[in-house]
Structure 1
């Protein structure tokens, strides 16, 4: 198990990205949070296996819906964090 911070930029605010990312993370079996940042990016903090996290990244890069456009995605390994579920932070 590991925890990653994934920063996503592009057309990712105001288009349902947080909800779509939350649904995807839950389907994959990940826990964590997703929130909008003031600079227009979206931040995900996610915990799961390396395979689960890799699957999330592949899906995020593909785009979750036709109106979501991911221009850039960066991943940072964080100290392991435990979450009970996956939440959208408003």
Structure 2
């Protein structure tokens, strides 16, 4: 399958609730590479590479997040380019 790259900008109560670490664990379960990082405006950016089915499953998880998170909105940007990650990291 073709690898895709999606950039997810997750808004809501997503910082200080183990969102990035939980996203990393879920991405690793799905075989998705990339990173999750906090943004200065309070959102979390998830840049994920993988096959479309795995990315859809990660996006579905992102709407729920870890127990203390409260997701209000996710912007999804589907990007092009060659895969550039070997694992999923927290930045």
Shorter-chain TM-score tier: over 0.9
Equivalent position to 1:27, from 21, 29, 33: 29
RMSD: 0.9
- Aligned residue pairs total 88
- Is residue 38 of structure 1 aligned with residue 28 of structure 2? no
CA–CA distance in structure 2, aligned partners of residues 65 and 87 of structure 1: 17
Match of 1:73 in 2: 74
Q: Could you tell me how far 1:59 is from its partner in structure 2? A: 1.2
Normalising by structure 1, report the TM-score: 0.93
2:56 corresponds in structure 1 to 54
Per-residue deviation, 1:74: 1.0
Q: Give the unaligned 5+ runs of structure 1.
A: none
Secondary structure of the structure 2 residue equivalent to 1:58: helix
Secondary structure at the counterpart of residue 25 of structure 2: helix
Unaligned runs of 5+ in 2: none
Moved over 3 A (4+): none
Cα contact 2:33–2:48 (8 A) shared by 1: yes
